[in-house]
C-alpha cells in the first residue's frame, strides 16, 4: 500500500542568536495507512519538531515530505494551509480550544473554509462529537468541561475533516491516569476504525497502545520497532516488543 507519510532526509535547523540547533538531523520515515505509531525520546530529542513538520505547521530546512503522495515541501503557503486544514488533525497536550466558543463551535472551525454549507458543517461537527462520546455536552464551553472532556472536544475537532493522519503531541500529558486511559481507549477505537495515528509520549504505558514505536535522540531516529516492514521481513503480522496484546490487561 502506498505510504501516507514519507519523509526523506528531513533536517530542521533553528538559529537562536549565534547558536544553531539541529532539532531534526536527517530523518527518514515512512508511515502506511492505518498504522499507529508512538514517538518516544528524552526531552529535546526533536519529537515536537517532528510533529510540527508532519503537521505542516512549519517547513523543514532541508529534505522532502510527501503526504498522501503529494510533495508538501514544494507547496506555497496557501496550498500548505489547505493540506493542514483538510488532511491533518492535530491534538495538543494543552487542548488549544477557543474559550468563548461552545464545544460544537470549536469542532466546526476546521470546516469553515470547506465548500459545504452551514447545515452540513453543523451535522458533521455533531457526528464528530458523538464519536468521542460528547454528544450531550455540545453546548458547553471549555471551562464548563473537565480536562478529559476538553481533550475529547479537541479530538473531535481534529477528526471532523476526516484527516489522513491524526497527530497527537503528549495528548495525555495534562490528564490524570484514569482520564488518560479513557483518552487512550478512544485512540484505540479510532485506530480500529481505520485512522492512521502518530502520537508523541515519554511514557511506556502510553506507547504500549501503539503497534510501532520510534525512539528519537539528538534529532535522529535511533530505533523503529514494529513497523510494517519489520512484520513483512520477519513474517508475522504483528510486532514483537510493543504488541498491544503482549501485556495482560488487569
Ligand X SMILES: Nc1ncnc2c1ncn2[C@@H]1O[C@H](COP(=O)(O)OP(=O)(O)O)[C@@H](O)[C@H]1O
Residues 128-187, interacting with ligand X (CB under 6 A): none
DSSP letter string, 96-127:
---TTS-HHHHHHGGGTTSSS-HHHHHHHHHH
Span interacting with ligand X, options 36-44, 147-155, 157-165, 236-244, rule CB under 6 A: 36-44
Question: How far apart are alpha carbons 110 and 206 in whole angstroms?
Answer: 27
Q: How far is the CB of 156 from ligand X (least distance, A)?
A: 25
Distances (CA, A) of 104 to 20, 60, 88, 124, 193: 42, 34, 19, 10, 23
Residue 3 binds: one of ligand X, Mg ion, none (C-beta under 5 to 8 A by kind) = none
Q: Which of 29, 35, 37, 47 binds ligand X (CB under 6 A)?
A: 47
Q: Which is nearer to ligand X, 9 or 246 (CB)?
A: 9
Q: Interaction with ligand X in 4-33: which residues (CB under 6 A)?
A: 14, 16, 21, 23
Angle, helices 147-159 vs 177-192, to 10°: value is: 20
**CA 141 to CA 95: how far, in whole Å?**
13
CB atoms near residue 12 (< 10 Å): 22
In the complex, which residues of this chain contact Mg ion (CB under 5 A)?
A: 47-48
Least distance from ligand X to the Cβ atom of residue 57, Å: 11
Could you tell me how many residues of this chain bind ligand X (CB under 6 A)? 12
Q: Which residues bind ligand X (CB under 6 A)?
A: 14, 16, 21, 23, 41, 43-49
Amino acid at each position: 500500500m502506498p505510504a501516507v507519510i514519507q519523509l526523506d532526509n528531513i533536517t530542521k535547523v533553528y538559529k537562536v542568536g549565534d547558536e544553531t540547533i539541529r532539532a531534526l538531523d536527517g530523518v527518514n520515515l515512512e508511515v502506511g495507512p492505518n498504522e499507529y505509531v508512538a514517538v518516544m525520546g528524552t526531552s529535546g530529542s526533536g519529537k515536537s519538531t517532528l510533529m510540527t513538520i508532519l503537521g505542516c505547521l512549519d517547513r523543514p530546512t532541508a529534505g522532502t515530505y510527501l503526504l498522501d503522495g503529494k510533495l508538501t515541501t514544494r507547496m506555497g503557503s496557501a496550498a500548505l494551509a489547505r493540506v493542514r486544514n483538510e488532511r491533518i488533525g492535530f491534538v495538543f497536550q494543552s487542548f488549544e480550544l477557543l474559550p468563548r466558543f461552545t464545544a460544537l463551535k470549536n469542532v466546526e472551525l476546521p470546516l469553515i473554509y470547506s465548500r459545504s454549507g452551514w447545515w452540513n458543517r453543523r451535522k458533521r461537527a455533531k457526528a464528530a462529537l458523538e464519536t468521542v462520546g460528547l454528544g450531550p455536552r455540545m453546548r458547553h464551553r471549555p471551562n464548563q468541561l473537565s480536562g478529559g472532556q476538553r481533550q475529547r472536544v479537541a479530538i473531535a475537532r481534529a477528526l471532523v475533516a476526516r484527516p489522513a493522519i491524526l497527530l497527537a503531541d503528549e495528548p495525555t500529558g495534562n490528564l490524570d491516569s484514569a482520564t488518560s486511559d479513557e483518552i487512550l481507549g478512544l485512540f484505540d477505537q479510532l485506530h480500529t476504525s481505520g485512522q492512521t495515528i502518530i502520537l508523541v509520549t515519554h511514557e511506556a504505558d502510553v506507547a504500549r497502545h501503539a503497534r510501532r514505536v520510534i525512539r528519537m535522540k539528538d534529532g535522529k531516529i535511533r530505533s523503529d520497532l514494529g513497523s510494517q516492514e519489520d512484520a513483512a521481513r520477519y513474517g508475522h503480522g504483528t510486532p514483537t516488543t510493543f504488541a498491544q496484546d503482549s501485556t495482560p490487561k488487569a
